[in-house]
Amino acid sequence: MKRLFLLMLPLLLQAAVLNAQVADPQDYLMDVIAELGKRWPDNRTVNVVFHGHSVPAGYARTPVVNTLQAYPHQILCGIKEHYPNAVVNVITTAIGGEQSEQGAARFEKEVLTHRPDVLFIDYALNDRTIGGTRSEAAWRSMIEEAIYQGVMVILMTPTPDLSEDIRSNDARLYAHVQMIRRLAEEFHLGLVDSYACFRAKAEAGENIASYMAQVNHPNERGHAVVAQEALKWFCPQENE
Residue 66: Cβ within 10 Å count: 17
- Tell me the pLDDT tens digit for each residue of 29-73: 999 999 999 999 999 999 999 999 999 999 999 999 999 999 999
- pLDDT value of position 20: 81
Return the bridge partners of 91, or none. Answer: 49
Q: Say what the pTM is.
A: 0.91
- pLDDT value of position 8: 55
- pLDDT value of position 10: 56
Residue 188 φ/ψ region, left for φ over 0, alpha for ψ in the -120 to 50 degree band, beta for the rest: left
How far does the chain reach from its first CA to its final CA, in angstroms?
40
CB 183 within 8 A of CB 139: yes
Return the bridge partners of 48, or none. Answer: 90, 118
Q: Give, for 1, the enclosing helix (H) or strand (E).
A: none
Instruction: Report the C-alpha gap between 129 and 216 in whole angstroms.
Output: 14
CB 207 within 8 A of CB 54: no
Instruction: Report the C-alpha gap between 82 and 235 in whole angstroms.
Output: 8
Confidence of residue 222 (pLDDT cuts 50, 70, 90): very high
Q: What domains are defined for the chain?
A: 2-239 (3.40.50.1110)
Instruction: Report the C-alpha gap between 2 and 167 in whole angstroms.
Output: 43
Tell me: pLDDT of 3 over 60: no
Q: Give, for 130, the enclosing helix (H) or strand (E).
A: none
CB 215 within 8 A of CB 60: no
- pLDDT value of position 15: 46
- Tell me the pLDDT tens digit for each residue of 136-187: 999 999 999 999 999 999 999 999 999 999 999 999 999 999 999 999 999 9
